[in-house]
């Protein structure tokens, strides 16, 4: 490999990976990392868990130190060094030493921008009051812990219901604070569809967390002297006032592109740095990776922003390879992500239905509630799953799962299937490891393929949870085939009850001239009933996800 001078702006996931891989490719190159803060490579995904005490020592968050990178990879690591300007014509950058105040220019053969993103802070009056914090780096969590230690914190408010916001909700509850979460949208966790996010709403309610949806903050007021000595009084759109001793602003992030713009680097339609498939910018020998760039959504083909560590790591390796003569391409992203919220895990991969509908991409979906492992083995828990697919070809488009166990395993299988371009027919045939503590002979992924395949082949017609309220009782009968004890605990209004074991003797009670929508608890028994009634000449649909999906959406946070 030919010797080159490679400058990298920003460390963390993408920049540090690019530097280490570049060194493995060429021992003779001069490789310099510039980081404007004191830490060059840290686990920003672990920051909330430091607040809650699950990660005890701050040093555990440090993936690499400047000393470690120097000794292991012979890298020149310059922390507290802020890059102010890019001069792409002369192939140089201007650097500010934030300790001494000195400025200097540094030339390059190749420049990698791993400049990340910054917290989104809309112009809400009072948003910058003391006691208000974002969670983006180690200095942020240090400041939060210092505030908690010096103030009598009882009431914590998290503004924003995304990944960081909900992780902070969980960790603040571990410190026995009263926690409220505010979200301007009609659901938490925007990557999930609303009916899947409803499981999270239910879990927060069970944990004593108050959730305000579709209720944005109007302003943050400074408390008066006669009020509780809190950080601020939060005024919501609906007129409610909430005192907050601590406010966490988890309103999302936006690409940090100001430095790129100084060098005339093109910014894309989503506000991130525009790169080609090799991760080159429009300027020769300048590359960009990580949170700051726009990437292709592999399902919808849209440009999108995906601030995730996994893609950033892969991009860092690709750029290093390409600098030294390869021609590797970054295919794009499926947005595979996961969250733990108290006793639940929520995960998704690929497209959600909201985006498929917005883009008019043909799709269908199925819901199911399989057990995490064999039900006869102790501690099996149901997983709520949603699988999206092309209704003609069966090609997999996306998957979402929420449950207490086994979610991570299944979403990773779905992510692999998406990458491979598999159909729901092929999901049925995937051979997965089985033993009673880990799964079932028909794994939830296999079951998802079977259920979806019935829809693609038109063997089963599905009804969805959001159609139920619109049904015309003059044309449709809603049939509950669960046992009596299940129905006694709740049922869908206006439904009639014929338990599945009695259906063969009582099916004549159902009107042939009306559509029959059948449901059970999770969808399996209603499928059996659907097959029987269809063969008896009825126009029948199976309520996908059945009572569990419908009921969960009805529970308001």
Catalytic residues: 520
Q: What element of type H or E holds 449?
A: helix 444-456
Contact 529, 479 (CB under 8 A): yes
- Whole-angstrom distance, CA of residue 425 vs CA of residue 454: 9
Point out which residues pair with 348 in neighbouring strands: 337, 400
Q: Which residue stretches of 298-352 are H helix? A: 309-323
Query: Between the CA atoms of 308, 314, 316 and 320, what dihedral angle is there, to the nearest 10 degrees?
Result: -170
Q: Token pair of 78, please?
A: 């310059």
- Whole-angstrom distance, CA of residue 372 vs CA of residue 379: 9
Secondary structure letter of residue 504 according to DSSP: H
3-class secondary structure, 346:
strand
The CA–CA distances, whole Å, from 496 to 509, 511, 520 equal 10, 12, 12
> 């099996």: which residue's tokens?
380
Contact 510, 477 (CB under 8 A): yes
Contact 97, 105 (CB under 8 A): no
Contact 372, 360 (CB under 8 A): no
- Whole-angstrom distance, CA of residue 224 vs CA of residue 318: 55
Q: Token pair of 23, please?
A: 């060194």
Three-class SS of 362-420: CCEEEEECCECCCCCCCCCCEEEEEEEECCCCCEEEEEEEEECCCHHHHHHHHHHHHHC
Contact 9, 15 (CB under 8 A): yes
Q: Token pair of 318, please?
A: 């690709």
| Rg of the Cα atoms in the chain | 27
Point out which residues pair with 288 in neighbouring strands: 113
> 């697919």: which residue's tokens?
389
| Start-to-end CA span in the chain (Å) | 59
- Whole-angstrom distance, CA of residue 172 vs CA of residue 156: 7
Number of other CB atoms surrounding residue 13 within 10 Å: 28
């Amino acid at each position: 490999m030919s010797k080159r001078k490679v400058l990298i702006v920003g460390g963390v996931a993408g920049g540090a990976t690019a530097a280490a891989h570049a060194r493995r490719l060429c021992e003779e190159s001069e490789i310099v990392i510039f980081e404007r803060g004191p830490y060059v490579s840290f686990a920003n995904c672990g920051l909330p868990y430091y607040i809650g005490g699950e990660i005890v020592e701050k040093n555990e968050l440090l993936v690499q130190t400047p000393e470690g990178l120097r000794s292991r990879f012979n890298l020149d690591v310059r922390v507290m060094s802020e890059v102010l300007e890019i001069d792409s014509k002369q192939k140089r950058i201007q650097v500010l030493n934030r300790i001494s105040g000195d400025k200097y220019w540094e030339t390059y053969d190749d420049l990698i921008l791993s400049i990340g993103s910054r917290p989104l802070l809309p112009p809400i009056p009072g948003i910058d009051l003391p006691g208000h914090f974002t969670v983006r780096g180690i200095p942020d969590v240090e400041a939060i812990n210092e505030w908690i230690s010096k103030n009598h914190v009882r009431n914590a408010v998290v503004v924003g219901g995304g990944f960081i916001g909900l992780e902070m909700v969980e960790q603040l509850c571990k410190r026995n604070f009263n926690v409220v979460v505010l979200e301007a949208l009609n659901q938490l966790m925007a990557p999930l569809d609303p009916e899947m996010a409803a499981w999270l709403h239910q879990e927060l309610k069970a944990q004593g967390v108050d959730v305000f949806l579709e209720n944005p903050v109007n302003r943050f007021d400074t408390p008066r002297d006669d009020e509780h000595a809190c950080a601020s009084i939060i005024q919501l759109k609906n007129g409610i006032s909430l005192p907050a001793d601590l406010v966490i602003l988890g309103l999302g992030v936006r690409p940090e592109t100001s430095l790129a713009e100084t060098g005339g680097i093109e910014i894309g339609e989503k506000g991130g740095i525009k790169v080609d498939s090799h991760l080159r910018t429009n300027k020769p020998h300048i590359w960009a990776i990580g949170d700051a760039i726009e990437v292709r959504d592999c399902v919808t083909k849209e440009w999108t922003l995906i601030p995730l560590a996994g893609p950033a790591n892969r991009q860092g390796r690709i750029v290093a390879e390409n600098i030294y003569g390869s021609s590797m391409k970054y295919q794009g992203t499926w947005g595979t992500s996961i969250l733990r919220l108290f006793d639940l895990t929520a995960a998704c991969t690929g497209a959600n239905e909201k985006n498929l509908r917005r883009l008019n991409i043909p799709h269908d979906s199925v819901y199911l509630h399989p057990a995490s492992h064999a039900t006869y083995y102790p501690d099996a828990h149901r997983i709520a799953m949603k699988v999206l697919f092309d209704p003609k070809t069966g090609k997999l488009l996306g998957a979402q799962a929420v449950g207490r166990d086994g979610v991570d395993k299944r979403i990773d299988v779905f992510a692999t299937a998406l990458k491979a371009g598999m159909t729901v027919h092929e999901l049925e045939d995937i051979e997965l490891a089985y033993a009673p503590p880990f799964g079932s002979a028909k794994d939830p992924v296999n079951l998802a393929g079977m259920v979806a395949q019935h829809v693609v082949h038109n063997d089963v017609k599905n009804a969805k949870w959001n159609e139920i309220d619109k049904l015309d009782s003059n044309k449709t009968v809603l049939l509950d085939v669960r046992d009596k004890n299940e129905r006694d605990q709740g049922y869908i209004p206006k439904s009639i009850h014929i338990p599945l074991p009695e259906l063969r003797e009582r099916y004549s009670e159902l009107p042939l001239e009306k559509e029959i929508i059948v449901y059970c608890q999770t969808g399996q028994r209603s499928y059996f009933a659907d097959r029987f009634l269809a063969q008896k000449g009825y126009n029948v649909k199976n309520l996908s996800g059945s009572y569990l999906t419908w009921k969960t959406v009805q529970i308001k946070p």
